[in-house]
Structure 1
Amino acid sequence: MAGDDRFTDGVASITQGRPLGTRNEPVTGPVADWATDFSHLEPEWAADPYPIQDDLRERCPVARTGRFGGAWLPTRYEDVAEIAYDTERFTSRSVVLSNYRPAREVEPVGVTPPISSDPPFHHHARKLLLPAFTKTAISRLEPATRAYCHELADALTGQDVVDAARDYAQHIPMRVIADMLGFPAEDGPKFREFVENTLEGVNLPPEERIARMDSLFAYLIAQIDDHIANPRDDLTTYLLNVELGGNRLAPSHVAGTMALLLIAGIDTTWSAIGASLWHLAKTPADRERLAAEPALLPTAMEEFLRAYAPVTMARMVKQDMHWRGVDMKAEDWILLSFPAANRDPAQFERADEVVIDREVNRHAAFGLGIHRCAGSHLARMEMRVALEVWMERFPSFTLDDPDAVTWSAGQVRGPRTLPLRIG
């Protein structure tokens, strides 16, 4: 691959050439009525969105806000599912709601294919990734993942109080994704910065947001350059060599997919592991039962995914239309709250309870429709191994200070500070 002329212009070929979209002024501040002025960035949403979602589902199942230039929030499972499966009326060209809309010129590929891609391109872009995320391929990663979880636990042993989000949960997907992509394991702090910039910095002025994204893509280009000079058996080299329609992938496609894997592959699993530990720390009966019945963990894990689903995705309305009693305009955002769908009592019995032996659990934590998470086997493996190792090493743990737990704001929600007493 030496001298791959697709990348001779470096980062400029990807970042400086991106078409700008329409702009909206940053809008933050207290919400007066969540039905007409919702914001997923507000502190009360990050702290506990479920009562808000339950209220909206009862009195206004499709909420509206003028923030971010206009957006909608369905809270019923059937509404979320209908939009997720409807690729004719809703586009995926941007799945992170912000104060900035990408231009239509990025269709059908989007900025981070395949999750930002529309059919028919989406099918082919997604198919390229599937071999790396089969159950068999993921099973080969389990021994190293388990060894790393024990390494993290070793560093915590002997302490009375530890931050399970900062010192355990976040590091596991960082290491796994770094290994898959062939990135330096010591770059973990950079990965966290990229995650926070992308998913929690959505209300920054567009120029600053673009500058931060440029930093991410500059890092990716450096990794690509290194892989061109030193090919090896990893996902980055695979993306550089694989063909789509008889041609190798465009630089924007390679870097965009790498960005997706790096950002989504870290934050979602970090959040799911942390939320599971938070639940077990505050619910002694469930923790004690899992300690006594470790075979129940896979079932309990699915319930944690349902009850604390970390991911909310976005779509954009293609054309003006009347939908489920509301008038949507072209370019309106829609937040697909899989967490709200997962707590819809019309879909799940005892929807507001965490039932760790729930047998029928067709949750939407990994999304619905064509964009259902291609990395679900990876996420489940990381989550299971992380919880198995934690329960083995620290079978008795509690929240040290419930009020000290903090949660990320934005479209991926999980604990960012999680002080647990293990000693």
Structure 2
Amino acid sequence: MTLDDRFTRDFRETRGDQPLGTRNEIVTGPVTDWATDFSHLEPEWAADPYPIQDDLRQRCPVAHTDRFGGGWLPTRYEDVAAVAYDTERFSSRSIIMSNFRPPRELAPVGGTPPISSDPPFHHDARKLLLPVFTKNAVAKREEATRALCHSLIDAFDGQHSVDAARDYAQYIPMRVIADMLGFPPEDGPQFREFIENSLEGVNLPPEERMERMGQLFDYLLAQIRDHVDNPRDDLTTYLINAELYGRKLDPSHVAGTMALLLIAGIDTTWSAIGASLWHLAKTPADRERLVAEPELLPTAMEEFLRVYAPVTMARLVKEDMHWNGVDMKAEDWVLLSFPAANRDPAQFDRAGEVVIDREVNRHVAFGLGIHRCVGSHLARMELRVALEVWLERIPDFGLHDPAAVTWAAGQVRGPRTLPLRIGPA
């Protein structure tokens, strides 16, 4: 059986998050009560979810919705952590809450291992990636990342206003991930489309969503073919040659991991860079202090990750159960809002404030439990370098039009448009 045959077979069997009976319905529309009818796809959630989360934490720490076929939203740190660590009762086989669910047979591997994998498979799938994302491995990419940031700012020459999300933040992880996977750097615009289809198109009819996801996997198959014919020293060739349990990875495993790195590796870091620049643009005191005290940036960066954590993950309830005062049904979604956990006053002093010199900061922006982000060292390096270069080259900047800033809806939240004024007001 050829690679194409194997891949097509595996992809046909696992590609579709299959509709689950009557649980396939439209999920957007005005929210009547966030405690009983929440939807993380609504514009008010995208614009500013924090007051909603704070209110829920006070009056209904585990919110519910009938949308998405039924789901739950814990807002306290302790509840989010409890779900994240409980792999016996909550499955990771789908981490994007949407209007359809993948079949149970997809566990324990899932469609995008290791993030979609349950134990015991998860441990071995994750272990394959660890050497690629060590601090030493990441450090080798810093010089090229810094050069890229400078080249992006060079392109601003003569401009007094730029979109820092589209013209700066998004390109940094796009290039880094493309280089790691051995993809053509000019394919960046396609990556943005793949991201939007995967993370922001969750309310599409299943057939259309599958078709759009098929475009991503068609692209990945083309890259796999090229790497089989022309092996090189990159992550794609590494995955193609990797072995698990004495045999090479299934093509669907290779493509699923590549999809994970392409989507999550870009959007999360793009969002973190953008949110940090947004904060500095609207907070002159913090911007001026970091320009004057660049050695404070690593500490400030952790605070930006805490306060503007971009990622919310999902789990699926394995069996009917009573959990922390609520009755969960099998196949209910649970949204793990790491942003809400990071702003829990029971866990953090001055939780709703941005304290750029916060000394103790055990935030969970990179998750908790076995699925804590394997690429955290890479994300931190990209964020630090992006901010270092920006503050060095553009020490004076502000929001060009606060009302023109837009944020992504869904489970990865960050600025999608961020018009900034460059230079004195």
Give the TM-score normalised by structure 2. 0.98
| Match of residue 68 from structure 2 | 68
Indicate the residue corresponding to 2:362 in structure 1: 362
5 Å matches for 1:335-350? Answer: 335-350=335-350
Question: 2: CA distance between counterparts of 1:89 and 1:372?
Answer: 18
Cα distance in 1 for partners of 2:85, 2:250 equals: 28
Aligned partner of residue 130 in structure 2, secondary structure: helix
Match in the other structure for 2:205: 205
2:143 is equivalent to residue 147 of structure 1:
no
Matched with 2:167 is 167
In the TM superposition, what are the counterparts of 1:300-315 in structure 2 within 5 Å? 300-315=300-315
| Gaps in structure 2 of 5+ consecutive residues | none
1:369-384, aligned counterparts within 5 Å? 369-384=369-384
State the AA in 2 paired with 1:192.
R
1:99: which partner in 2? Answer: 99
C-alpha contact 1:35 1:60 (8 A) present in aligned 2: yes
| Number of equivalenced pairs | 419
Partner of 2:133: 133
Classify 1:409/1:294 alpha carbon distance in 2 versus 1 (closer, same or farther; 3 Å).
same
Distance 1:9 1:395 in 2: 54
CA contact under 8 A between 2:6 and 2:251: conserved in structure 1? no
Helix, strand or coil at the partner of 1:303: helix
After TM superposition, give the deviation of residue 11 of structure 1 in Å.
5.4
Does the 8 Å CA contact 2:7/2:251 hold for their aligned counterparts? no
Residue in 2 aligned with 1:240?
A: 240
Once residues 123 and 336 of structure 1 are traced to their aligned partners in structure 2, the CA distance between those partners, rounded to angstroms, is 21
Distance 1:263 1:6 in 2: 27
Helix, strand or coil for the counterpart of 2:314? strand
**Any idea what SS the aligned residue of 2:195 has?**
helix
Q: Deviations over 1:306-341 (max 9, x none)?
A: 000000000000000000100000000000000000
What is the identity percentage for the equivalent residue pairs of Structure 1 and Structure 2? Answer: 79
Deviation at 1:6, TM superposition (A): 5.5
Q: Retained in 1: the 8 A contact 2:19–2:206?
A: no
Query: Partners in 1 of 2:87 and 2:257 — Cα distance?
Result: 20
**Structure 1 counterpart of 2:52:** 52
Q: Which amino acid aligns with 1:17?
A: E
Counterpart check, 1:9 vs 2:14: no
| Cα distance in 2 for residues equivalent to 1:59 and 1:158 | 51
Tell me what 2:253 maps to: 253
| Mapped partners of 2:280, 2:6: distance in 1 | 46
Distance across 1 between alignment mates of 2:391 and 2:157: 13
Scaled by the length of structure 1, the TM-score of the pair is 0.98
Aligned to 1:317: 317
Counting only pairs closer than 5 Å after superposition, residues 324-335 of structure 1 correspond to structure 2 as 324-335=324-335
**Structure 1: runs of 5+ lacking an equivalent:** none
Quote how far apart the aligned CAs of 1:8 are. Answer: 2.6
**Contact 2:7–2:252 (CA under 8 A) maintained in structure 1:** no
2:227 corresponds to which letter in structure 1?
H
Q: Distance in 1 between matches of 2:386 and 2:279?
A: 15
- The Cα of 1:29 is off from its aligned counterpart by 0.7
User: SS of the residue aligned with 2:416?
Assistant: strand
Q: How large is the RMSD of aligned CA atoms in angstroms? A: 0.9
Question: 1: distance between equivalents of 2:28 and 2:10?
Answer: 30
Q: In structure 1, what is the Cα distance between the partners aligned to 2:332 and 2:416?
A: 30
Which residue number in structure 2 is paired with residue 397 of structure 1?
397
Matches of 2:7 and 2:51 in 1, distance apart? 44
Query: What are the superposed Cα offsets for residues 177-212 of structure 1, whole Å, 9 maximum, x if unpaired?
Result: 000000000000000000000000000000000001
Tell me how far apart the structure 2 counterparts of residues 6 and 355 of structure 1 sit (CA, whole Å). Answer: 56
Greater alpha carbon shift after TM alignment, 10-19 vs 146-155: 10-19
Amino acid at match of 1:90: F
SS in structure 2 of the partner of residue 388 of structure 1: helix
> Cα deviation per residue 1:235-281 (whole Å; 9 max; x = unaligned)?
00000001101110001100000000000000000000000000000
Q: Distance in 2 between matches of 1:96 and 1:374?
A: 18
**1:10 Cα deviation from its structure 2 partner:** 6.8
